[in-house]
Structure 1
Amino acid sequence: MKIIVPMAGRGSRLRPHTLTVPKPLIPVAGKPIVHRLVADIVNVLDEKIEEIAFILGDPAFFGDDVVDSLEQLAVSLGATARIYRQLDPKGTGHAIMCAEPSLSGPAVIAYADTLIKANFNLDKEADSVIWTKKVENPEAYGVVNLNERDEITELVEKPTQFVSDQAVIGIYYFKEVGDLKKELQHVLDNNILNGGEYQINDGIKRMMAAGKVFKTGTVDEWMDCGNKEVTVETNRRMLGFLAERCEALISRKITSKDATILEPCFIGDGVTLKNCTVGPFASIGEGTIIEDSNVKNSIIQTYAVIKNATLDNAMIGNHATFDGKFTNVSIGDYSELKQ
């Protein structure tokens, strides 16, 4: 089994945090988004993963440090990493075809801007499984249409009339991903564009027209990381899930004086807490210093300095300095905000 992860986008909606760090490497509950996503998929599949292919963008932004991080992730899961590049953003289908040498055998394709909580048996008798989540407002999403045998017969983008309440979340299983490769090659060769780009859905629709059987795999939770507000909310929800599983989230390698920790929280190695209250639902990255402050429902990344602050629904980047009484903030890496 392979996992293929297109992640070449710059994550513009999450700026300023993605000006220096690719969005899939932004931490949620102390771990990069893509690390959590891939590990959760491995747990759902419950089988040997031989290869994880990552499709990155420009090496000037997705540099050696990113590649090293992804290679270490693959090794930690017992797999080999393969790195591909999508240097021209021409859509989801084009991104997949950039990993053409890896497009054979059974594979999961997962776009690295979402997190899941799932526990189901993958229907490997189907030619493909599209993972979905029941939503209250299907008109805002791409949804699947099902027949009486619960097979997917159609993909409908933002339907104006009710089709179903099962929204496509961007994770797909293919019993033979070479079938998708064949149809996407046809899309590219014939310049079939939607929204000016080559889309995975056009390859999937051709597979359906050829008689391939598509089923759904429904996740329990689907968490977005598209912008600052939803990323902080996803951090809150993920901390809650991890606490339910009794995972250790607070490092023993912290310095604490007159500090109160309200769980669930993630607190990394080397954090210093002085005269402060942290939590609930706060993630504090390695080496950060928090003094004379209250921090809850927020993401503070590594080696930041937080003083005299009351933070709620905040997101502060790596090596940033924040000294003040503002509350709902979003500050990127190496920024300084002082009074």
Structure 2
Amino acid sequence: MAGRGSRLRPHTLTVPKPLIPVAGEPIVHRLVKDIAKVLNQPIDEVAFILGDPAFFGDDIVDSLKGLAKSLGAKASIYRQDQPLGTGHAIMSAKESLSGPAVVAYADTLIKANFTLDEKADAVIWTKKVKNPEAYGVVNLNEKEEIIELVEKPEEFVSDQAVIGIYYFKDIAVLKGKLQEVLEENLMHGGEYQINDGIKKMMAEGKIFKTGTVDEWMDCGNKNVTVETNGKMLNFLQQDGEKLISDSVKKEASEIIEPCYIGENVVLKNSTIGPHVSIGDGCVVENSSIKNSLIQTNSSIKNAKLDNSMIGNHAKYDGNYTQISIGDYSVLE
């Protein structure tokens, strides 16, 4: 999670993308917990690969340590000092690369219910897609084993897109192959990629299988993050989770579920929902809001919002419909 999330600016100018809340909880927290559910086995350690300490500071480290502790695991914090690709990022945590492990990119959310194939040396998590030519996909043999990774195929290879989550029976094998990649200076676009380590494992006959997720939800830019927030709220409502705090104060207002509304939110003469997340301490007056994400301690007045995203400690009073403003912004 070392990247700066430039496609989600301005929201990632002050908060790293994996810490942006979706449906009331940071992306990386939801992802780690959902992976843990699929694994259904004890987790000893969660290693987080962060970027510049000036951006990924002590408060973020404390949050991640709390996440690992909630799973009964220790947290290990590593820094990727240069943006040199996924393979380089993984090797930044080389002290933790032993035994069974999952590698995940912390900018997507999933909904999954499958069992890991214990006969496989590795499992690449995939999602069936309608337009595989837009993704990196896996090529399978007659045994349903992955024999090739193909980036944006012009001719049909499969409809199983790689989503950026991998399981390794012994990640030390990947570590060895990525070390070879570094020593050979094998780069693509100036970066070292995990795929080159995986291809070296396949060349030695290691068995790769797929684990197909039910939902793969992106958080790459404002529009897809708002869409993902709506999907996640639907799932949480179906699971019976409590989404609206008891401390919400409503005055002549209506909430159309599903919505997440945090602690000490004040709603006056407003209609909220569906598919809206509002963080702690916000005040919303004379407004209609749907399909939107609002973080904490913001003030919204006289708004009619749809497909919008507002950061922390922001003030908004106006008649735009689709907006995206970051932390401490004022638009009146």
Q: TM-score range by the shorter chain?
A: over 0.9
- Structure 1: how far apart are the matches of 2:245 and 2:323? 26
- Structure 1: how far apart are the matches of 2:21 and 2:184? 40
- Structure 1: how far apart are the matches of 2:88 and 2:264? 42
Q: 1:161 aligns with which of 155, 160, 163?
A: 155
Q: 2:84 aligns with which of 66, 86, 90?
A: 90
Distance apart, 1:37 and its partner CA: 0.3
Residue aligning to 2:327: 333
State the one-letter code of the partner of 1:210.
E
**Structure 1 ranges of 4+ moved more than 3 A:** none
RMSD over equivalenced CA pairs, Å: 0.5
State the one-letter code of the partner of 1:219.
V
Helix, strand or coil for the counterpart of 1:252? Answer: coil
Distance apart, 1:246 and its partner CA: 1.1
Q: In the alignment, is residue 293 of structure 1 matched against residue 320 of structure 2?
A: no
Distance apart, 1:138 and its partner CA: 0.5
Q: Return the TM-score normalized by structure 2.
A: 0.99
Q: In the alignment, is residue 266 of structure 1 matched against residue 260 of structure 2?
A: yes
Helix, strand or coil for the counterpart of 2:270? Answer: strand
Q: 1:206-221 to 2 correspondence within 5 Å?
A: 206-221=200-215
Distance apart, 1:78 and its partner CA: 1.1
- Structure 1: how far apart are the matches of 2:261 and 2:205? 51
Residue aligning to 1:55: 49
Q: 2:64 aligns with which of 59, 64, 70?
A: 70
- Structure 1: how far apart are the matches of 2:323 and 2:118? 45
Residue aligning to 1:323: 317
Aligned residue pairs total 332
Structure 1 gap ranges (5+):
1-6
Residue aligning to 1:307: 301
Distance apart, 1:74 and its partner CA: 0.7
Helix, strand or coil for the counterpart of 1:19? Answer: coil
Identity percentage over the alignment?
71
Query: After alignment, is 207-216 or 252-261 more displaced?
Result: 252-261
Q: Return the TM-score normalized by structure 1.
A: 0.97
- Structure 2: how far apart are the matches of 1:317 and 1:303? 9
Residue aligning to 1:201: 195
Helix, strand or coil for the counterpart of 1:297? Answer: strand
Residue aligning to 2:183: 189
State the one-letter code of the partner of 1:154.
E
Cα deviation 1:38-80 (Å, max 9, x = unaligned): 0000011111011000000000000011101101111111111
Q: In the alignment, is residue 249 of structure 1 matched against residue 243 of structure 2?
A: yes
Distance apart, 1:322 and its partner CA: 0.3
Cα deviation 1:289-339 (Å, max 9, x = unaligned): 00110111100000000000011000000000000111100000000000x
Structure 2 gap ranges (5+):
none
- Structure 1: how far apart are the matches of 2:313 and 2:67? 24
Q: In the alignment, is residue 145 of structure 1 matched against residue 139 of structure 2?
A: yes
- Structure 2: how far apart are the matches of 1:124 and 1:281? 38
Cα deviation 1:268-296 (Å, max 9, x = unaligned): 00111111111110000000000110111
Distance apart, 1:194 and its partner CA: 1.2
Distance apart, 1:120 and its partner CA: 0.5
- Structure 2: how far apart are the matches of 1:225 and 1:245? 22
Q: In the alignment, is residue 177 of structure 1 matched against residue 168 of structure 2?
A: no
Q: In the alignment, is residue 226 of structure 1 matched against residue 220 of structure 2?
A: yes
Distance apart, 1:195 and its partner CA: 1.7
